[in-house]
Structure 1
Amino acid sequence: MKTVDTIARVRRAFHVQGWSVKKISRDLHVSRNTVRKILRSDETSFSYERERQPLPRIGPWREHLDRFLIANEGKSSRERLTLIRIYEEVRALGYEGSYDAVRRYARAWSKKRGAVTAEAYVPLYYAPGEAYQFDWSHEIVLINGVTVTVKVAHLRLCHSRMLFVRAYMRESQEMVFDAHDKAFAFFRGTCTRGIYDNMKTAVETVFVGKDRQYNRRFLQMCSHYLVQPVACTPASGWEKGQVENQVGLVRERFFTPRLRVKSLEELNVWLLDKCIAYARAHRHPEQTDRTIWQAFEVERGSLVGYAGPFDGFHSTPASVSKTCTVRFDNNKYSVLSTAVGRPVEVQAYADRIVIRQDGVIVAEHARSFGRGETIYDPWHYVPVLARKPGALRNGAPFREWVLPAAMEKVRRKLKNAPDGDRQMVAILGCVATDGLPAVEAACQEALDHGVFSAAVIINILARARDPAPAERLSIPDALRLTHEPVADCARYDSLRRAS
């Protein structure tokens, strides 16, 4: 078929230049019948479609090809056969045609199949306070000069379209709890339904339809906030399309170009400000007479009241090593020396680690998200120093131990004493009974008097523990002595003579 350019040249030659059909055919190398067709139809382009494709070779093998193509469609992308493999399978059955015929047939089959299975969608409406949607995304930022992939929790109110975004270093269950708490505290309430995908931190088992077996701790959180969880159909992201769209919007508007921050806390403060600024500046997609923020303020009156923070920790059993440490999330955390030899329970929060033994807290640390780090609390090792005072100088937990000013002065002065380590350990041991402020005050009093020995400081603490002397009793005048008695030892001599 002639191209659009050839058709244009023929039309110009005849209508503008006045050439005859014979001259156009000779000079432009186009047949006279084609020239007449162009001029008579007055069309600027022609297209040809074959009305019927006989497929003489592939015709008898259509059923086999359909069987392979339908089976292929139901497999994952990694398990699907390529067209070359399908061609080879059909050849093994006796097909003698070309690969190109198989390729053309597969393309037509896919096109027809797509038209048959094309899905239509119904616009959704959510009443105020009815539902929110939750999802995760992974974004790349620079934190203190280091490139880090952060996990970003997205929560969106379906009616007002108000968005909430918060970044974490992990995508674990305690982060899910913290993200919900921070979002509901910001919204000052929550909705009656929460729409999720089938994330492992919420759903343990997917059954037929909408039936799910939810994680026990996740159900506790939903019960605390009076939320009914709803899980989407697997691989059906359109069921929570609002938050899916929010992921792309936040990535484009908030994380492009790449952010540079000093800490995760600074990033989250900045993200919250951006969410508010975006909501104030953009119109609601349906309620075009108001902004998203205005629609959100109206919806606030329909939200379920904020029930306060949920005790959102993820519990894991652990054992205590002989060095008084517990391993969790690729790091080690110190515990009280009395906990050695018995199992403990690690309660991981989004920002801290609490370790319990028989229900009693034996350690609490700020959470670390590095790898291979050891987080010490030197006070956990003070009871061990009573048996090994020399460890105070070279013990790893005491390398960067910052004591109160007066105690640090006493420690520096005792370093030169022959038994300085033992004396300092005795002073540190008093903290468990008297408290750190009392020991600090005793050290300061001793320094004010120019001494710094453990005996003096322990004596000061002992005097501070003793109750004040009782007030002197008031004696009636009738019982008071008018004359002070005089000691007369001569009376003892009279007693000797009497014997």
Structure 2
Amino acid sequence: MITLEDWALIRRLVKDGVPKARIAERLGISRTTVMRAAASDSPPRYERRPSDSTSFTPYEKRVRDLLATTSDMPATVLAERVGWEGSITWFRENVRRVRAEVRPQDPADRLSWAAGDAAQCDLWFPPRKIPLEDGSRVLLPVLVITAAHSRYMTGRMIPTRKTEDLLLGSWELIQQFGRVPRRLIWDNEPGIGRGQRRAAGVTEFAGTLATKIVQLRPRDPESKGIVERRNGYFETSFMPGRSFASPADFNTQFTDWLTVANQRVVRTIKASPVDLIDVDRASMLPLPPVVLHLGWRNQVRLGRDYYVRVDTNDYSVSPTAIGRIVDVAADLERVRVRLGGRIIAEHERAWARGRTITDPAHVAEAAVLRHQFQQPRTLTAVDDGLGRDLADYDRAFGLDEASA
């Protein structure tokens, strides 16, 4: 095989009109080699002939059989199963080649999003525990909704991932858009539903908004990739260097940061979300004209201990309502108890679990009622003119004559 310099020299001499036989004699090569070099448009290079057999060949069929039943089996496990004793690096390279041939393919289409058509919803769990009222620190979910066309982001931390809090949070974030996306895209979040079954209240929520809730099939992250990528963006751009005193502090900082983040240019759409949100909003549905009754709602008969439960926490109620039916309602911020439409108890909602929240005024009322109940009851005679002598009854029944 000739060198790159010989190939270049041959082509130059041929162009200069030097006979091929003289070139071959000068370089000490055959005339055939000179003719091939002159006819070639690229320099010569060495190509090793592929070998039909390698050290992996005796194990390949067994590896293919194992991958056909378990396509994600690790290479180290495969090496142990087939008895491989050579280089694990060489084995991994061959397993990677075989796995790509055996594994079923799941192509992901590139999606386009029309204005106003969809908003992607997800729960993001910030990798930092938030301090609560009882001194505990826990990881809390953040509900995030991103308009698919404009990439406009909204989000807020919520107490739980239960249906009541998911719908409350969704309604609050949708109001920030000022309009209703035609579709709300979720994965299989239990608080929204599983499969074709929606959680209680979700269908009514979607019907009131005139929107459609779409839950994706398992292992289909591409259809919700916009909001998924935002979760990673939050962790790398919002979280570093921040500390939070409470969930309310987190929401304040997050809301302020989103205002700035929505002004940044998104590379894929070459525009900032605030520049496109008006176009997105114009194609969305109007907000419903009716008030949405969302959140935690229940009717209970108030017991002697004058407490009602919301989620896992107990809240005190005026003991004057003991034994009567009261209406309990809670949103993301407040817990209210009504009797006949009149509020008889109101508390700030607790984010910690298993707490008892007591209003001192209710304890004082209970003490007064308990004292009154424990006082001895005295009967007083009342002369209302309706009293009657018992002898009249004796005469009426003839008892006085019998005794005589």
| TM-score exceeds 0.5 | yes
C-alpha spacing 1:106/1:264, structure 2 compared with 1 (3 Å): closer
Which residue does 1:156 correspond to in 2? 146
Which of 215, 222, 225 aligns to 1:231? It is: 215
TM-score, reference length from structure 1:
0.55
Residues 202 and 98 of structure 1, relative CA distance in 2, 3 Å threshold: closer
Does residue 114 of the first structure (1) align with residue 114 of the second (2)?
no
Q: How far does the alpha carbon of each residue in 1:236-277 deviate from its partner, in whole angstroms, 9 at most, with x for none?
A: 1111010001111112111122x2244433332332222221
- Name the CA shift for 1:356/1:199 in 2 (closer, same or farther; >3 Å): farther
Residue of structure 2 equivalent to 1:325: 307
Contact residue 318 and residue 327 of structure 1 kept, 8 A: no
Q: For residues 144-183 of structure 1, what are the structure 2 equivalents within 5 Å?
A: 147-183=137-173
For the Cα contact (< 8 Å) 1:161–1:284, is it kept in 2?
A: no
Contact 1:143 1:260 in 2 (8 A): no
C-alpha distance in 1, partners of 2:225/2:122?
A: 10
Contact 2:130 2:247 in 1 (8 A): no
Q: Check 1:230–1:48 CA distance in 2 against 1; reply closer, same or farther (3 A cut).
A: same
Alpha-carbon spacing, 1:367–1:101, altered in 2? closer, same or farther (3 Å): same
**What's the C-alpha RMSD, in Å, of the aligned pairs?**
4.0
Query: Which secondary structure does the structure 2 equivalent of 1:272 belong to?
Result: helix
What do residues 441-489 of structure 1 show as CA deviations (whole Å, max 9, x unaligned)?
A: xxxxxxxxxxxxxxxxxxxxxxxxxxxxxxxxxxxxxxxxxxxxxxxxx
What does 1:141-220 correspond to in 2, within 5 Å? 143=131, 147-203=137-193, 205-206=194-195, 212-220=196-204
Q: Do the aligned partners of 1:141 and 1:260 also contact (CA within 8 Å) in 2?
A: no
CA drift at 1:361: 6.4
Q: 1:56 to 1:162 in 2, by over 3 A?
A: closer
Q: What SS class does the counterpart of residue 293 from structure 2 fall into?
A: coil
Residues matched between the structures, number: 326
Residues 154 and 45 of structure 1: CA distance in aligned 2, closer, same or farther (over 3 Å): farther
Q: Is 1:284–1:292's contact at 8 Å kept on the other side of the alignment?
A: no
Answer whether contact 2:315 2:358 (CA < 8 A) is retained.
Answer: yes
Query: AA paired with 2:319?
Result: S
What amino acid maps onto 1:199 in structure 2? E
Could you tell me which residue of structure 1 aligns to residue 283 of structure 2? Answer: 302
Equivalent residue for 2:260, pick from 269, 274, 277: 277
Partners of 2:137 and 2:216 lie apart in 1 by 33
Aligned match of 1:98? 83
Give matches, 1:9-408, under 5 Å.
Answer: 50-53=51-54, 58=59, 62=61, 66-73=64-71, 87=80, 98-100=83-85, 108-115=94-101, 117-139=104-126, 140=128, 143=131, 147-203=137-193, 205-206=194-195, 212-257=196-241, 259-283=242-266, 285-286=268-269, 288=270, 290-307=271-288, 310-315=292-297, 322-337=304-319, 340=322, 347-355=329-337, 363-381=345-363, 384-389=366-371
Q: Distance in 1 between matches of 2:198 and 2:342?
A: 29
- How far apart are residue 339 of structure 1 and its match? 5.2
CA distance in 2: counterparts of 1:323 and 1:313, whole angstroms:
24
Equivalent position amino acid for 2:100 in 1: G
Structure 1 residue 332: deviation in Å? Answer: 2.1
Q: State which structure, 1 or 2, has the greater radius of gyration over its C-alpha atoms.
A: 1
Distance 1:283 1:73, change over 3 A: closer
Moved more, 131-140 or 371-380: 371-380
What stretches of structure 1 of length at least 5 have no aligned partner? 1-41, 75-79, 89-96, 207-211, 392-421, 423-499
Point out the more displaced range, 326-335 or 221-230: 326-335
**Shift in CA distance, 233/142, structure 1 to aligned 2, threshold 3 Å:** closer
State the secondary structure of the residue aligned to 2:113.
Answer: coil
Q: Name the CA shift for 1:364/1:44 in 2 (closer, same or farther; >3 Å).
A: farther
Distance 1:379 1:300 in 2: 48
Letter in 2 for 1:98: G
Sequence identity percentage = 20
- Between Structure 1 and Structure 2, which shows a larger proportion of helix residues? 1
- Alpha-carbon shift at residue 362 of structure 1 (Å): 5.9
Change (3 A) 1:56 1:377: closer
SS at match of 2:314: strand
Whole-angstrom CA distance in 2 between matches of 1:87 and 1:125: 46
Deviation of residue 158 (structure 1)?
0.7
Q: Deviations over 1:263-314 (max 9, x none)?
A: 433332332222221222324632x3x4321111222222211226532213
**C-alpha separation in 2, matches of 1:359 and 1:221:** 24
Alpha-carbon offset, residue 128 of structure 1: 1.0
Shift of 1:381: 4.6
Q: Which runs of 5+ in 2 are unaligned?
A: 1-42, 376-404
Whether the 8 Å CA contact 1:153–1:179 is kept in 2: the answer is yes
For 1:164, give the aligned amino acid: T
TM-aligned CA distance change 1:346 to 1:87, over 3 Å: farther
